[in-house]
Amino acid sequence: MQQLHFEDAWNRTISNEDRLDIKKIFEQTKKDAEDGVTFVPVRTAVNHRNDLLITTLIHNFQSEETDLTNINIQLFQDNKQIASQYIEESRLCFPAKTSMPWTFIFPEMGDENKRNVPYSLKVGH
């Protein structure tokens, strides 16, 4: 059975409204199980440095632990890859059948006019 997990820093700092939004998205998408790892968009934002912040719900539908601690993450818009970056993050290792929210930061890619444009993320090779 798929379980929702909040990383410790998220658990301490997330607002009640954001927690409810993520729980709602989790409930809506946890049954979309594919045997693998999927990224469900939650929201986008642009920070003061013009970085694009992509918050996603990462589903590990596998029956084994997923290690995303060293990954190449690809950012897509309209099915076209617009960015790719290598990420080293020790907190992106989580158990089987677990979902966890995470925000990926794409430096200097922000555009306030495109905040509501749909993005998708994939693990690259």
Residue 57 has pLDDT above 80, yes or no: yes
pLDDT for position 44: 87
pLDDT tens digits, one per residue of 21-37: 999 999 999 987 677 89
Does the structure show a pLDDT above 60 at 125? no
Euclidean distance between CA atoms 48 and 110, whole angstroms: 9
* Residue 12, φ and ψ in degrees, nearest 5: -80, -30
Q: How far is CA 106 from CA 11, 21, 26, 76, 89, in A?
A: 23, 23, 24, 12, 14
CA distance 58 to 67: 12
28 contacts: CB under 8 Å, gap ≥ 6: none
pLDDT value, residue 120: 83
